[in-house]
Structure 1
Amino acid sequence: MIRKQLIFPTIFLLLLAACGGSGEADAPLIQDSSEVVTLLPPTRSRPETPTPEPIEDASGIGIAFFKAWEGGDYLGMYSLLTPQSQALVGSQDFVARYQDTMQAATVQEVQTQPLGILQEGDTAEMAMQVVWKTAAAGDIVREINAPMRYVDGRWGIEWDEGLILPELAGGNQLVVERHIPARANIYDVNGKALAYQGTIISLGVIPGKIEDEEGMLNALSLVLDKTPEEIKEIYAPAKPDWYWPIGEISEESMQEHAADLEPFIGKGLGTPQPRLARLYSDAKSAPHVIGYVGPIPAEQVEEYKAQGYAGDEIVGLAGLEQWGEDYLNGEQGGLLSIISPTGEFIEILQEQAPKQARSVYTSLDLEFQAGVEQILANAIETLPEVSKGSAVVMDVNTGKILAMASYPTYDPTIFDAQR
Structure 2
Amino acid sequence: MQRSLFRYTTAFLLPLLAVGLVLTGCDSTGSNGGGGDETATFEYPSNNYGAETVTNLLAFELGVRVGNATDNSESALLDRYEGNADDITIRAAQDLTTEGQNVYSDIQGGVDLSSQVSTADLLRGNELESPDSPNAGSLVNTDELLRYYFQEAGANNVGPATSNGIVLSQFAEKMLLGTPLYGQGAAILSDFANGNVSSNRAEQWDAAFGYFGFPRTLEPFVDYEGGGEGLADGPARDIDGDGVDLTSEYVHTWAAYAIERSATAEANSESPSNNFAQRAFEALVQGRKEIANENYENLSSRAQTALDAWEATVAVNVIHYINSMEGNLEDASGTLEGPQGDSSGDVGEDAWGEAKAFAWSLQFYSRDALRSQDLNNVLEDIGNDPPYGEMTASEYASDLQDATDILADTYDFDSDNVQSW
TM-score by length of 2: 0.21
Q: Where is the helix percentage greater, Structure 1 or Structure 2?
A: 2
Larger radius of gyration: 1
TM-score by length of 1: 0.21
